[in-house]
């Protein structure tokens, strides 16, 4: 029982990080109409920036503020320079381009920081265990991760639902030809949405650092899981991504406890089931 509770919480944490990546992928797909294959690599870049900032300042607090801004700029820069020429072309070309970008980013980081990973210390302020009454006490940092993810998800939702910019973004996802006809400068919204998606991936990178450390290939595995989350939740569905992310996190965590051999396979089995019986995803619209 004790193990079950702590394992559930661990699953929730890894699921929450998946949610951040899947939401970015979803948002970018909705407005820019391509799957950003470099999302995992950008998450890794965010984590590396955070690891250097943490080494310089002694904790990740500053990184938590600075990395989203840096990644926002990186995202905007990438969209303006290399992704923009892809819009008139086949969807597949943008996918391939970001696939190439993944190679460049991973090898670039390897060249700068070496192939070995870097450790990141959790902030001292959160270096204690929280007793939950049931099960073993859990590190406060993990609870902090869940809290930050909840804040980011809530913030994104409010941004999309309650602001004028969010209104245009949602309208653009529905029908961007109409939005353009109404005189909206749509290019800017594309840049903004790509930058936001990348920044959210950067936040996930910062949060992951103290849990697993950072290493050049960290983005590859989580990207595949984020794809699975997007497919299972339903492409373009905000709460679908959240629900599927948490579900997969918890499922993997529980299988690790009871039948660890199958832990790696579980997300894919779930995905195959969903694609077979409900191809539009759990909460997908069409």
Partner 1 sequence: MTHVTTTPSSDGTPVEGAAPATLARVRGSRAARWTWGQLGLLLVLAVIVLFTVPNPSLAIGMLIYGLWAAGLNLLVGYGGLVSFGHALPFAWGGYAAGLVLLHVSTSVWLALLVAVASMALLSTLVGAVCLRRTEVYFSMLTLAFAQLGFFIALQWDSVTGGDDGLAGIPVPTLGLGTGIELNALRDPLTFFLFTGVVVLVTFAGLILFTESPMGRVLQAIRENEERARGCGYNTRLVQLVTFVLAGTVAGLAGGLFAMLNNFVGLQPYWLLSGVVLIMVILGGRSSLFGPVLGAVVYLVLESTLSRYYASWQLIVGAIFMVCVLAFPQGLWGLVTQTVPGLFRRRRSAG
The H or E element that residue 59 is part of is: none
- Check binding of 104 to partner 1 (CB under 8 A): yes
CA atoms within 13 Å, Cβ hemisphere of 247 = 20
- Check binding of 111 to partner 1 (CB under 8 A): yes
- Check binding of 255 to partner 1 (CB under 8 A): no
- By rule CB under 8 A, what string of x and - marks binding of each residue 113-152 to partner 1? ----------------------------------------
- Check binding of 283 to partner 1 (CB under 8 A): no
CB of 223 to partner 1, least distance (A): 9
Pick the closest to residue 251 from 218, 231, 229, 220 (CA basis).
229
Q: Which of 73/272 has CB closer to partner 1?
A: 272
- By rule CB under 8 A, what string of x and - marks binding of each residue 169-188 to partner 1? -------xx--x------x-
**If you compute the radius of gyration of the chain from its CA atoms, what whole number of angstroms results?**
19
Q: Which of 6/102 has CB closer to partner 1?
A: 102
CB of 187 to partner 1, least distance (A): 7
Pick the closest to residue 142 from 279, 16, 281 (CA basis).
16
Q: Which of residues 38-77 bind partner 1 (CB under 8 A)?
A: none
- Check binding of 157 to partner 1 (CB under 8 A): no
Q: Which of 59/217 has CB closer to partner 1?
A: 217
The tokens describing 223, both together, are: 């990207």
| CA distances, 86 to each of 96, 171, 235 (Å) | 10, 22, 21
CA distance 170 to 30: 9
- Check binding of 102 to partner 1 (CB under 8 A): yes
Q: Choose the stretch contacting partner 1; rule: CB under 8 A; options: 144-152, 155-163, 223-231, 245-253.
A: 223-231
CB atoms within 10 A of CB 150: 13
Read out DSSP for 62-115? HHHHHHHHHHHHHHHHHIIIIIGGGTTS-HHHHHHHHHHHHHHHHHHHHHHH-S
Pick the closest to residue 271 from 241, 232, 226 (CA basis).
232
Residues that bind partner 1 (CB under 8 A): 29, 34-35, 82, 85, 87-93, 95-97, 99-104, 106-108, 110-111, 176-177, 180, 187, 224, 227-228, 230-231, 235, 261-262, 264-265, 267-269, 271-272, 275-276, 279
């Amino acid at each position: 029982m004790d193990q079950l509770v702590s394992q559930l919480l661990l699953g929730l944490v890894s699921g929450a990080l998946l949610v951040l990546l899947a939401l970015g992928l979803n948002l970018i797909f909705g407005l820019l109409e391509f799957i950003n294959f470099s999302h995992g690599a950008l998450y890794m870049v965010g984590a590396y920036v955070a690891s250097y900032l943490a080494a310089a300042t002694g904790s990740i607090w500053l990184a938590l503020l600075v990395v989203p801004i840096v990644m926002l700029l990186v995202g905007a820069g990438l969209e303006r320079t290399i992704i923009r020429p892809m819009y008139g072309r086949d969807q597949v070309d943008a996918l391939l381009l970001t696939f190439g970008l993944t190679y460049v980013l991973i090898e670039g980081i390897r060249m700068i920081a070496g192939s070995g990973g870097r450790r990141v210390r959790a902030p001292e302020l959160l270096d204690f265990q929280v007793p939950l009454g049931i099960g073993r006490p859990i590190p406060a940092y993990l609870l902090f991760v869940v809290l930050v993810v909840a804040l980011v998800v809530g913030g994104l939702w409010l941004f999309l639902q309650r602001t004028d910019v969010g209104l245009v973004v949602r309208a653009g996802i529905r029908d961007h030809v109409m939005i353009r006809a109404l005189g909206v400068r749509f290019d800017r919204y594309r840049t903004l949405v790509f930058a936001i998606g990348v920044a959210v991936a950067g936040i996930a990178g910062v949060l992951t650092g103290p849990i697993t450390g950072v290493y050049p290939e960290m983005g590859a595995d989580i990207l595949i899981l984020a794809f699975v989350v997007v497919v299972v939740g339903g492409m373009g569905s905000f709460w679908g991504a959240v629900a599927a992310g948490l579900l997969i996190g918890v499922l993997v965590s529980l299988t690790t406890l009871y039948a660890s051999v199958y832990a790696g396979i579980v997300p894919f089995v779930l995905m195959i089931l969903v694609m077979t019986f409900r191809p539009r995803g759990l909460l997908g619209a069409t």
